[in-house]
Amino acid sequence: MEMKNILLLICVVTLSLTARSQNNTWCGTNHLVKKQIEENPGLQQIMHEALKKAAISRPTDNATSRTLITIPVVVHVIHDNGIGNISEEQVQSALDILNLDYNRLNADTSDTRSTAEAPFRDNAGSMDIEFKLAKIDPDGNCTNGIVRVNAPTLTYGAGEDCKYDSNGGSDQWPKDRYFNIWVINTIAGSSGGITLGYAYYPYGAATNSGYGILIRHDVFGSIETADGEDGRTLTHEMGHALGLPHIFDAGFSGADGCHTGDCNTEGDYSCDTPPQQEANWSCSPTWNSCNNVPLNDAYGFDALDQIENYMSYNACQNMFSNDQVDVMQFNFNDIYFLDNLRSDPNIAATGVNDPDQLCKAEFDVAKRVVCAGTTVEFDDQSFHGPISWTWTVTPGVEGVDYVYANGTTAASQNPEITFIVGGYYDIELLTSDGVTSDSEVKTAFINVLPESAQLDVIEGFEAYTDLSSTNNWTVHNPDNNQGFEILDGTGLSSNKSAFLANYGESGSNTDELISAPLDLSVVDPATEEMTLSFRYAYHKRYDSNDEWLKVFASNNCGESWAQRKTIHGNQLSELTSSNAWYPTSDDDWTTVHMTNITSVYFVENFRYKFEFEGENGNNFFLDNINIYKGAPSDDLVGVNDLEGSIRSFSAYPNPVEGQLNIRFSLENIQNAIVEIVDVTGKVITKNNVQANSGSNLVVLDLDDIAAGAYFIQLSVGETTQVEQLIVR
């Protein structure tokens, strides 16, 4: 992004839902613009001259030269297949609000004050504009004006990265042909607040690939995920995108909010919005922050603050002023890309006024990887105007492999299908508007996981040539770079391991390896405990690397996940290798024993996943994954006959609150007993661990242990070591 680009960060609100409902916001505009002006001092004058030109050029008669403006719109929905993947109906509801507000057709126009001290109703303006979703894309293909991109790493804490295909986001459609809006889950905020949206001014160098609006889905429109209370965030942001400052801005002339100079060249450059000292959130009808009367003021006296203005932060917004409307109208004549945007040839090229005719069959689901017995809700997204639908599922037999649920059928617009048998299913949709038909086939679209596996199976990855050939494991690679794969010649005492080629990857990458369901319902919570163990191999690339391994568990087949273990930085490894690193001996591997797979996970469809967060570090390897009952398993019977030798033993953090890590190293495979003992010798917790040679890491949850002094006792064969422990 060029330093001259004017990024207007709008609507930062407190975490309080009450405050949010009152539109309790503050704006990062002044800070960002000030910073950019410091980097490019000429920018302030560029902004000032553009706004002054628009203000001075406004007609004396507000209705003079007024023409209807039509704006083709494209909405880029950047989502994670969750609630942020909003419907076409919600998108349309957002444009409906724009069309009402900008044409003074909103239902609350009567709330605009018309009193002696606040004579604003007669100065409220209509823009004569309509915002319409495009029907033809830049390549001449049909579209519904909505681009959907599944990019979990870009939709949370979003910023400019989500606006580029190269980052996994969605490129701007040409700004002189389409007005671009990006809808995301959350935006990177500041000062502990929540950013609802931001926009670029159309002035100066703000003609780059970022021009448009970035906005959260929960304030976009008035239905479904939008709560309806902040539906005018888009109205506010569009005001910035079409050239309007806040009514409390000091402007770019150097004057403060309560300026006394010419209102055409100071403040917000609109003479019928009284000067305002600073942002406020009060809808008090007597609020008056300035006593000044600027030169050329529309009222000629000290009018009250215009709390109902869309470019304020007040919850009672309901109007643009005539002068603000004239500034926006002028910009459509003066700024080349806005002028072309509303031109007759462009209206024809984008098809916004074309009649509805079916041109595309399309559908989606919220979740494509499911357990057997799960009901999947299909969402028809065909356009335009379908009236009939035919769904086909292959392979499989209806009533045997799958059934339609909740009264839906193969002819429903949005069917619900319960999948019974595991495997990959192709889905086809044939739709028609009565004249034209179109179909869409998505191959291997639904992955129904195999029936829950039984316990005591160690996953060594030896049976696979690649992870895509099995649905025992799901690879999630949201950054679309190097994901988990099978690598020969790297396994622990075997040939294969799960490998993540993290060396040479850029920072802030996240990759996941997710298990198929495992049946833990056979475990007796009254008498049995479970341990999840796995071995990993890893070296840093640089001493400063802080890369993370996280382990999650789910008791509902992956509908939701709970984080059960985190290892990062030096805990993951203190060793570094400047070149791409690969394990060469058993000593390169660490065994992790997670004893916190508690009874809440003793269900039929238990799943677990490994998540690795990279930071330009080194390669990562997983092997020998096992879920076992706390007692030693049969394949280790007799190993205690070997001479036990504990190379090292430590516990951290100490003192501890919550989760305790116990790390020890052994000469050979042994059953290990880890106990927490109080000062009287009473055993508080006892865990049997199938320890491996080399490094072992045992994770204990101590949330239910009272604060005080204890001892950690590690017993391997005939050897016992003890350390003191303080629980806070």
Positions marked active-site: 237
C-alpha–C-alpha distance, residues 225 and 94, integer Å: 12
CA neighbours within 13 Å on the CB side: how many for 145? 28
Q: Are 245 and 251 in contact (CB under 8 A)?
A: yes
- For residue 13, how many other CB atoms are within 10 A of its CB? 24
- For residue 180, how many other CB atoms are within 10 A of its CB? 24
- By CB neighbour count within 10 A (0-12 exposed, 13-18 middle, 19+ buried), where does 16 fall? exposed
Q: Are 701 and 681 in contact (CB under 8 A)?
A: no
Structure tokens at 727: 């629980």
Backbone angles phi, psi at 36, to 5 degrees: -70, -35
Q: Which residue has the tokens 């030798």?
A: 645
C-alpha–C-alpha distance, residues 369 and 347, integer Å: 41
Q: Are 369 and 474 in contact (CB under 8 A)?
A: yes
Pairing assessment for the beta strands 375-380 and 363-365 based on DSSP bridges: antiparallel
Strand order in the sheet with 670-678: 683-691, 670-678, 708-716, 719-727
Sequence length of the chain is: 728
C-alpha–C-alpha distance, residues 44 and 324, integer Å: 20
Q: Which of 301, 299, 300, 317 is nearest to 309 (CA)?
A: 317
Pairing assessment for the beta strands 7-13 and 69-79 based on DSSP bridges: unpaired
3-class state of residue 57 by DSSP: coil
C-alpha–C-alpha distance, residues 162 and 156, integer Å: 10
Backbone angles phi, psi at 429, to 5 degrees: -120, 125
- By CB neighbour count within 10 A (0-12 exposed, 13-18 middle, 19+ buried), where does 105 fall? exposed
Strand order in the sheet with 363-365: 363-365, 375-380, 416-419, 402-404
Q: Which residue has the tokens 């942020």?
A: 84
- For residue 121, how many other CB atoms are within 10 A of its CB? 16
Which residues touch 290 (CB under 8 Å, ≥6 apart)? 257, 258, 274, 275, 276, 277, 302, 305
Q: How far separated are the first and last CA of the chain, in Å rounded?
A: 49
Structure tokens at 332: 């459509």
Q: Which of 206, 201, 282, 195 is nearest to 230 (CA)?
A: 195
Structure tokens at 479: 């950054």
- For residue 90, how many other CB atoms are within 10 A of its CB? 19
Q: Are 409 and 415 in contact (CB under 8 A)?
A: yes
- The torsion of the CA quartet 259, 263, 264, 269, rounded to 10 degrees, works out to 70
